């Protein structure tokens, strides 16, 4: 909705977005929709989008409903009609843009993973902590927390329906890099992406495990591998590490992992296992997880994202078993803004839910979830995974300073 009960439009919240590709399109959809699906105390307004290519950014602005286009993110931050900066760029620019926006007095939403290194993430978390004293909100965009079924899973866990948690298993499988002819892109270069499947997919897996369990990972043991180490260059691209290829093609070095496999231990002693790969033929966006506790189990599959499987182990064995919960009832998380029961939601709705939650945090002056501190915790886990893999799967503790809150 875009009006209050009195018929007066709520105050505007001017949003400026940096980046306009895949994530930019998804975030644009969320900002356009949130104020129409939910009764919000602030009205998101798509003020401006920034990108380096003048023609491309103007086309993106027209397509996605942004009122203006900028070719310099600094100019976007300086705009008086922008109160919130949404960072949808590759990871190598997250820290610079987000910190500058916070220092300019803006609220910030930053796509995951928070940064490309622990040092950058620490600087961002410090800037966010300082900005919070001035009433600013900084949130990291782990959108899968906003899948209603996963949000409801968190409720069941906090209500004690699983009892003491014992095991977590998370796999996130894609196949878009199986073809050796797939060209080199920024996601395959460490200087831009930070890591490969680990940061791209594993960050989601780690965040969901910690979010659902309500506690951090404290140590990991890992293996990573790069199966295709050279890929053809895109026309006009000139990355480092050029190499001659077959015929006239020029190849560049892949400097990130194709797959990561690791185990972990949570603070309570519960065990976890993770698999992240972009080399699983036939798997398009297969995020699956299961949690086992003393009193029950939960399972989720993103390809059936309106469903949650729940087993209550306290029921008589003769009738107990996994049951399907269709998470589309009005009292399920976020469903008050959508359709009658049984009418499923999709991937794009998670970004509307993310925008809703951020607007509510800004209007209410409440701490966001996940915060930059939560994003820093994920970054520390990813760094520990890489350290363990470099040392042949040696168990590696995850630093957990007392100043960093555990993910909620």
Q: Count of domains in the chain?
A: 2
At residue 270, the pLDDT reads 98
Residue 21 inside a domain? The answer is yes
Q: Same domain, yes or no, for 174 and 190?
A: yes
Residue 334 inside a domain? The answer is yes
> Rounded distance, CA 62 to CA 59, Å?
5
Q: Same domain, yes or no, for 296 and 206?
A: yes
Residue 7 inside a domain? The answer is no
Q: Does 152 score more than 60 pLDDT?
A: yes
Residue 4 inside a domain? The answer is no
Q: Same domain, yes or no, for 170 and 131?
A: no
Cα-only R_g, the chain: 21
Residue 282 inside a domain? The answer is yes
> Rounded distance, CA 27 to CA 348, Å?
9
**CB contact burial 172-210 (16+ within 10 A = b; e otherwise):** bbbbebbeeeeebbebbbbebbbbbbbbbbbbbbbbbbb
Q: Which of 313, 345, 320, 319 is nearest to 332 (CA)?
A: 345
Q: Does 240 score more than 90 pLDDT?
A: no
Q: Same domain, yes or no, for 181 and 109?
A: no
Q: Does 4 score more than 70 pLDDT?
A: no
> Rounded distance, CA 341 to CA 343, Å?
6
Q: H or E segment at 153? A: helix 148-158
Instruction: Give the predicted TM-score (pTM) of the model.
Output: 0.93
Q: Same domain, yes or no, for 240 and 336?
A: yes
Which whole number is the average pLDDT over 201-223?
A: 98
Q: Which domain holds residue 277?
A: 148-349+369-397
At residue 2, the pLDDT reads 45
Residue 328, domain CATH: 3.30.360.10
pLDDT band at 8 (very low <50, low <70, confident <90, very high): confident
Residue 83, domain CATH: 3.40.50.720
| Pairing label, strands 69-70, 242-244 | unpaired
> Rounded distance, CA 195 to CA 186, Å?
10
Q: Same domain, yes or no, for 94 and 25?
A: yes
Which whole number is the average pLDDT over 294-310?
A: 98
**Which of 104, 129, 144 is the endpoint of a domain?**
144
pLDDT band at 400 (very low <50, low <70, confident <90, very high): confident
Q: Same domain, yes or no, for 275 and 175?
A: yes
Minimum mean pLDDT range among 84-88, 161-165, 167-171, 239-243: 239-243
**Which of 118, 144, 170 is the endpoint of a domain?**
144
At residue 403, the pLDDT reads 42
Residue 129 inside a domain? The answer is yes
Q: Same domain, yes or no, for 125 and 250?
A: no
At residue 237, the pLDDT reads 53
Q: Same domain, yes or no, for 41 and 109?
A: yes
Q: Does 407 score more than 70 pLDDT?
A: no
What confidence tens digit (pLDDT) does each residue in 176-197 have? 999 999 999 999 999 999 999 9
pLDDT band at 360 (very low <50, low <70, confident <90, very high): very high
Which whole number is the average pLDDT over 369-386?
A: 98
pLDDT band at 402 (very low <50, low <70, confident <90, very high): low
Which whole number is the average pLDDT over 267-277?
A: 98
405 vs 298, which has greater pLDDT? 298
**Which of 94, 124, 144 is the endpoint of a domain?**
144
Q: Does 408 score more than 50 pLDDT?
A: no
Q: Which residues pair with 287 in a beta bridge?
A: 172
Residue 362 inside a domain? The answer is no
Q: Same domain, yes or no, for 164 and 44?
A: no
Q: Same domain, yes or no, for 166 and 264?
A: yes
Q: Same domain, yes or no, for 233 and 345?
A: yes
Q: If you average pLDDT over every residue of the chain, what do you get?
A: 94
Which whole number is the average pLDDT over 37-60?
A: 98
Residue 357 inside a domain? The answer is no
What confidence tens digit (pLDDT) does each residue in 303-357 have? 999 999 999 999 999 999 999 999 999 999 999 999 999 999 999 999 999 999 9
Q: Which of 168, 165, 138 is nearest to 376 (CA)?
A: 138
Task: Rounding to the nearest 10 degrees, give the CA dihedral for residues 164, 146, 43, 112.
Answer: 100
């Amino acid at each position: 909705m875009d009006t209050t009960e009195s018929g007066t439009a709520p105050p505007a919240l001017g949003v400026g977005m940096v980046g306009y590709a895949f994530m930019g399109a998804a975030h644009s959809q969320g900002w356009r929709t949130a104020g129409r699906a939910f009764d919000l105390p602030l009205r998101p307004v798509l003020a401006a989008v920034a990108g380096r290519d003048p023609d491309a950014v103007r086309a993106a602005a027209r397509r996605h409903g942004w009122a203006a286009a900028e070719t310099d993110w600094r100019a976007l931050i300086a705009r008086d009609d922008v109160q919130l900066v949404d960072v949808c760029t590759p990871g190598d620019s997250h820290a610079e843009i987000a910190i500058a926006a916070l220092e300019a007095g803006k609220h910030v939403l930053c796509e995951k993973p928070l940064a490309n290194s622990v040092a950058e993430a620490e600087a961002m978390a410090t800037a966010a902590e300082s900005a919070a004293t001035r009433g600013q909100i900084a949130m990291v965009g782990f959108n899968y927390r906003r899948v209603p079924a996963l949000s409801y899973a968190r409720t069941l866990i906090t209500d004690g329906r699983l009892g003491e948690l014992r095991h977590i298993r998370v796999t996130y499988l894609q196949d878009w890099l199986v073809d050796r002819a797939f060209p080199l892109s920024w996601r395959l270069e460490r200087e831009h992406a930070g890591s490969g499947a680990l940061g791209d997919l594993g960050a989601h897996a780690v965040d969901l495990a910690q979010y659902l369990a309500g506690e951090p990972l404290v140590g990991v043991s890992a293996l990573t591998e790069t199966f295709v180490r050279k890929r053809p260059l895109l026309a006009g691209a000139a990355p480092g590490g050029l190499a001659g290829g077959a015929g006239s093609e020029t190849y560049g070095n892949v400097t990130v992992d194709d797959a990561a496999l690791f185990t972990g231990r949570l603070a309570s002693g519960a065990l976890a296992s993770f698999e992240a790969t972009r080399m699983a033929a036939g798997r398009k966006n297969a995020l699956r997880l299961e949690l086992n506790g003393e009193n029950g189990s939960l399972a989720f599959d993103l390809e059936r994202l309106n469903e949650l499987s729940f087993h209550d182990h306290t029921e008589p064995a003769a009738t107990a078993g996994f049951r399907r919960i269709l998470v589309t009832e009005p009292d399920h998380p976020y469903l008050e803004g959508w359709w009658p029961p049984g009418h499923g939601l999709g991937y794009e709705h998670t970004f509307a839910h993310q925008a809703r939650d951020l607007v509510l945090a800004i209007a209410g002056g409440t701490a966001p979830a996940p915060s930059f501190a939560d994003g820093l915790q994920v970054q520390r886990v990813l760094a520990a995974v890489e350290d363990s893999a470099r040392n042949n799967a040696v168990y590696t503790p995850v630093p957990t300073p007392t100043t960093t809150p555990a993910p909620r």
